Amino acid sequence: MPPLFFAETRKITIFGRFCFLTNESMAGIKCIGVLTSGGDAPGMNAAIRAVTRSAIYNGFAVKGIMRGYKGLVFNEIVEFKSQSVSNIIQLGGTILKTARCKEFTTPEGRKAAYDNMTAAGIDALVVIGGDGSLTGARLFAQEYNVPIVGLPGTIDNDLGGTDSTIGYDTALNTIMEAVDKLRDTASSHERLFFVEVMGHTAGYLALNSAIATGSEAAIIPEMETEVDQLAELINHGFRKSKNSAIVIVAENPKTGGATALAERVKKEFPQYDARVTILGHIQRGGSPTAVDRILASRMGEAAIEAILDGQRNVMIGIENGKIVYVPFVKAIQHNKGIDRNALELVKILSI
């Protein structure tokens, strides 16, 4: 039975401001579809569980859409009950599977998606994914007037308007454990290790894993050229006082990432025994941390609250511990910026 406070006004926070909303605009929504899209991230299952159970608690029917937007375009939609999401909070990956879907980027693909969605009786969507997924959601919502709420599901933490994304903390911990192990071999062999981490075009994972592992430097796309950063590292850090070092490098297809950097070091500073480790997809896997499980649970429930409040075209974010609604357009802007003090911290603490 849905709770009686359905018809009441609700107090919510939008960008730190309290607003009172009625749930009139959600009238007519009976069934909510949920999908995971783009790169998988640990905590997506916890989010699916929270969305499903909160929706059912509030009297909605739920349908799971398989393989992201592919499931909408090619009609892979399944009934979800409370038990469909039993025993998944601790699992990495996503039980709904995920995919990149080229067809959804075309008007014909989105038309097929809309036809399948309406045929399945779905009135609103919760999309769990990164900036590409939310870009697609924004377009779809505009074209077909579909109420969509997004959840930030990506290890990259590159979405605007939220302090963290679902999966980021787990990936950070995975990197930390791997680098701790590399530190043992780096120090035994007196080597300079370049460790490449993910992050898309953002340096969050690189910067904060550098702090967490006591690394000598973080090379991130948001900062000045790699040449300058590297020269500084070699001249002021490694050469003077250390016989081993770890440099965390954010992936960067434009510059070639850790491999290209290590090649340059080998050429310019042949006296150093430079090695490269690319952590790769290991960063995406594993059981989500408590931080990610709690974040995903809170955000999943907040997505249903948002639908009840008549919100659409917003992503659920978290700022200073509070749930906020972030318009898609702000969430997908790549201008979140990096904390320059954090970069300075890596430098100060690695003397």
Q: Which stretch binds ligand ATP (CB under 6 A): 131-139, 176-184, 208-216, 249-257?
A: 131-139
Sheet order of strands, 192-197 included = 217-219, 245-250, 192-197, 274-278
- Report d(CA 241, CA 187) in Å as an integer: 13
Nearer to ligand ATP, 104 or 204 (CB): 104
Q: Which listed residue (54, 56, 72, 104) binds ligand ATP by CB under 6 A?
A: 104
- Six-digit token string for 207: 């910067």
Residues near ligand ATP (CB under 6 A), total:
19
Burial of 43 (0-12, 13-18, 19+ CB in 10 A): buried
Q: Which listed residue (47, 84, 156, 283) binds ligand ATP by CB under 6 A?
A: 156
Which of 142, 138, 140 minimizes the C-alpha distance to 72? Answer: 140
Q: What are phi and psi of 9, to 5 degrees?
A: -75, 155
Q: Cβ(231)–Cβ(317) under 8 Å?
A: no
Terminal-residue alpha carbon distance, the chain: 61
Based on the shown chain and the rule CB under 6 A, indicate whether residue 43 belongs to the binding site for ligand ATP.
no
Distance of closest approach, residue 259 Cβ to ligand ATP, in angstroms:
21
Q: Which listed residue (101, 250, 265, 274) binds ligand ATP by CB under 6 A?
A: 101
Based on the shown chain and the rule CB under 6 A, indicate whether residue 136 belongs to the binding site for ligand ATP.
yes
Restricting to residues 171-210, which ones interact with ligand ATP according to CB under 6 A? 200
Based on the shown chain and the rule CB under 6 A, indicate whether residue 329 belongs to the binding site for ligand ATP.
no
> Residue 95 contacts by C-beta under 8 Å, 6 or more apart in sequence?
45, 48, 64, 85, 88
Q: Which listed residue (69, 168, 272, 328) binds ligand ATP by CB under 6 A?
A: 69
Q: What are phi and psi of 278, to 5 degrees?
A: -105, 115
Q: Which listed residue (33, 39, 92, 147) binds ligand ATP by CB under 6 A?
A: 39
The SS3 call for residue 55 is helix
The secondary structure of 283-296, three-state, reads HHCCCCCHHHHHHH
Nearer to ligand ATP, 136 or 221 (CB): 136
Tell me which residue has its CB nearest to ligand ATP: 132
Dihedral in degrees, nearest 10, Cα atoms 129, 131, 134, 135: -150
Q: Which listed residue (22, 105, 201, 259) binds ligand ATP by CB under 6 A?
A: 105
Nearer to ligand ATP, 104 or 325 (CB): 104
Based on the shown chain and the rule CB under 6 A, indicate whether residue 38 belongs to the binding site for ligand ATP.
yes
Based on the shown chain and the rule CB under 6 A, indicate whether residue 325 belongs to the binding site for ligand ATP.
no
Catalytic positions, written as ranges: 156
Based on the shown chain and the rule CB under 6 A, indicate whether residue 252 belongs to the binding site for ligand ATP.
no
Nearer to ligand ATP, 165 or 350 (CB): 165
Distance of closest approach, residue 331 Cβ to ligand ATP, in angstroms:
11
- Report d(CA 263, CA 250) in Å as an integer: 16
β-strand partners of 192: 245, 274
Nearer to ligand ATP, 141 or 179 (CB): 141
Residue 235 has, within 13 A of its CA and on its CB side, a CA count of 6
Based on the shown chain and the rule CB under 6 A, indicate whether residue 345 belongs to the binding site for ligand ATP.
no
Q: Cβ(124)–Cβ(32) under 8 Å?
A: yes
From the centroid of its chain, how far is CA 217? 24
Nearer to ligand ATP, 64 or 152 (CB): 152
Q: Which stretch binds ligand ATP (CB under 6 A): 129-137, 219-227, 286-294, 319-327?
A: 129-137
Q: What are phi and psi of 298, to 5 degrees?
A: -65, -45
Q: Which listed residue (49, 123, 131, 350) binds ligand ATP by CB under 6 A?
A: 131
The contact set with ligand ATP (CB under 6 A) reads 37-39, 69, 100-101, 104-105, 129-133, 135-136, 139, 154, 156, 200
